[in-house]
Amino acid sequence: MTYPTERIRNFAIIAHVDHGKSTLADRMLQETKLVEGRMMRAQYLDRMDLERERGITIKAQAVRMPYTAADGSEYLLNLIDTPGHVDFSYEVSRAMNACEGVVLLVDAAQGMEAQTIANLYLAVEAGLEVIPVLNKIDLPAARPEQVALEIASLLGGDPEDILAVSAKTGIGVPAVLERIVERVPAPRGDPDAPTRALVFDSVYDAYRGVITYVRVVDGWLRPGLDVRLMVTGYHNEIDELAVISPEPKPVDALGPGEVGYLTAAIKKVELARVGDTVTEHNRPAAEPLPGYREPTPMVFSGLYPMDSDDFPDLRDALDRLRLNDASFTFEPETSVALGFGFRCGFLGLLHMEIISERLDREFDIPLVATAPNVKYEVHLDETQIRPNEDAVLLVSNPAELPAPNRIARILEPVVDAMILSPSEYVGAVMQLCEARRGDLQKMDYLTEERVELRYRLPLAEIVFDFFDRLKSSTRGYASLDYEPADMADADLVKVDVLLNGEPVDAFSSIVHRDKAYEYGRGMVSRLRELIPRQMFDVPIQAAIGSKIIARETVKARRKDVIAKCYGGDVTRKRKLLEKQKEGKRKMKSVGTVEIPQEAFVAALSVNAD
């Protein structure tokens, strides 16, 4: 059944990870009688195992809930689920553009978190109606009055007016639904104009091709309609047009304000990108919906199979992941130390973690990942430019940085970071940010206990372990959000690590000159612990260009012999040697130095300071 636009309410829930977004969504499904209690399973809307286990939502989904309001009128509520993490802020903003309102869900014990605030700002910028809701009011640690004050100080308005619920028990949820009906504006759109529908998510399905989630703005979508994606130019007839309520249900049409999904034999998500506009192929709209942006990878890492025989499998796995995730990139590269692999680009750290975990979980390929880094803009010295070489190089693999004498300047990406912290840890947070070359922009006390700090930080300084450090120096209370700002000049150098005089490309890193010594020392002493003793002394050096900045030596092994072969048990001795020899075969050789894979993994995964 099609609803008149004035009876439609499209909304999203903004919440920090663990603040109960999925639980509230579950409760809404029950409250609107869409899901019977006995059919309920936790986090009904999160489809992927990974999401369910991590308790976070990676892919936005939309669910349609017919709802009879207290005044007896029938409404159609469309809940659009948004990803909760900074890495996916663009996807969040698109999902919000499919709504007219948001429920701001805040844990009454934890209070506001940086990511929630960042998403809240996105909602406010998009002109959405914001309905603040306190969750977990049944918890003993809940402090609803204080958190309500925090929210009011950010949003304005009366703290008394803020709804309080326990998504777990369902207390207060009916009031939330009523307020959505009451406050969220009905969508507006022109049913007669050429079709325009916003793609706010697309998910790969092996059988039906890409499932494209859309919010119709103008005109109509119908099965069989020849539609075109305005950015990618792909066009095809709609095979399946459906809504999720809460299981997929085919529909005859979707009109202005409605939310659903379509399939059109789309082979990969790249062709139906988040933010693109679906229009009618034969009667296209003049302009796409505003705001489309290419996803830009910000964080890079080399992924190498532990066993070089797995290289083709890794390529297949990355291809398959990319079908489902257009925002991650990869291209083949070779490392002297690690062999053949791929330089992969990710939106951010969580995105990188998710991809690695999926590779591990779904494809079972043991990997070595190089330390994450960012993309640098390298301006070559004019006198040093080689024929057919660009004056500006983009470097996402530290090993590819040109020699120091060829470089005029290097620019690095910087981000605007927002950190929310209890006021007692402000000192620790500032100390950390300053150690990471941060530039304090602003500091606001949201309440007496909570401070919002804004820093401009080099992205390279936060990709490694910043978040862990932030958490550990604030007992887990601080939260972080960041968004790319621009590129800035920095005094950066490449630190190489040499084993027995030979550079090991996988260990090269681009760091600020002031930190080069510290980085070099750290890497060299860590490697001294990790590299097994060899038959000869192995010098380990850190160098900037030809200048050695740190040195350690792995002393030659002096004893490697089984003392006794007792009782004539030669079999045992032979098997031990065979096993050791097999272990040796699996080592990576750098020149004459043999390094176990585990040493690479350990050296690359431990933090740099």
Residues at the site binding other proteins, with contacts judged by CB under 8 A: 535-536, 557-571, 573-574, 577-578, 580-581, 584
| 382 phi/psi in degrees, rounded to 5 | -55, -35
| 374 phi/psi in degrees, rounded to 5 | -110, 180
Nearer to other proteins, 232 or 597 (CB): 597
Q: Which amino acid is at 236?
A: N
Which one-letter DSSP state was computed for residue 356? H
Nearer to other proteins, 70 or 562 (CB): 562
**Chain centroid offset of residue 398 CA:** 22
Euclidean distance between CA atoms 50 and 357, whole angstroms: 9
Nearest to 101 by CA among 83, 122, 128: 128
Distance of closest approach, residue 572 Cβ to other proteins, in angstroms: 9
Nearer to other proteins, 440 or 562 (CB): 562
Distance of closest approach, residue 365 Cβ to other proteins, in angstroms: 28
Distance of closest approach, residue 531 Cβ to other proteins, in angstroms: 15
Distance of closest approach, residue 584 Cβ to other proteins, in angstroms: 6
Per DSSP, what are the bridge partners of residue 367? 305
Distance of closest approach, residue 347 Cβ to other proteins, in angstroms: 43
Q: Which two tokens stand for residue 409?
A: 């300047």
Euclidean distance between CA atoms 36 and 46, whole angstroms: 17
Distance of closest approach, residue 540 Cβ to other proteins, in angstroms: 19
Nearer to other proteins, 296 or 592 (CB): 592
Distance of closest approach, residue 576 Cβ to other proteins, in angstroms: 9
**Chain centroid offset of residue 390 CA:** 31
The b/e string for 217-250 (b: 16+ C-beta within 10 A; e otherwise) is bbbbbbbebebbbbbeebbbebebbbbbbbeeee
Distance of closest approach, residue 569 Cβ to other proteins, in angstroms: 5
Nearest to 242 by CA among 266, 263, 257, 228: 263
Nearer to other proteins, 41 or 581 (CB): 581
Nearer to other proteins, 160 or 560 (CB): 560
Secondary structure of residue 603 in the 3-state scheme: helix
Euclidean distance between CA atoms 199 and 588, whole angstroms: 46
The b/e string for 344-379 (b: 16+ C-beta within 10 A; e otherwise) is bbbbbbbbbebbbebbeeebebebbbbbbbbbbbbe
Please check whether residue 277 is in contact with residue 197, taking contact to mean a CB–CB distance below 8 angstroms: yes
β-strand 329-335 against 339-346: which pairing, if any?
Answer: antiparallel
Nearer to other proteins, 431 or 553 (CB): 553
Q: Which helix (H) or strand (E) holds 442?
A: strand 439-445
Nearer to other proteins, 229 or 590 (CB): 590
Distance of closest approach, residue 563 Cβ to other proteins, in angstroms: 4
Q: Which residues contact 2 (CB under 8 A, 6 or more apart)?
A: 253, 255, 258
Dihedral sign, CA of 317, 322, 323, 324?
positive
Euclidean distance between CA atoms 344 and 78, whole angstroms: 36
Distance of closest approach, residue 535 Cβ to other proteins, in angstroms: 6
Peptide bond into 194 cis (omega under 30): no
Q: Which two tokens stand for residue 122?
A: 């996105």
Distance of closest approach, residue 558 Cβ to other proteins, in angstroms: 4
Residues in the chain: 609
Say which residue the tokens 């159609």 belong to: 76
Nearer to other proteins, 38 or 564 (CB): 564
Nearer to other proteins, 188 or 574 (CB): 574
Nearer to other proteins, 143 or 533 (CB): 533
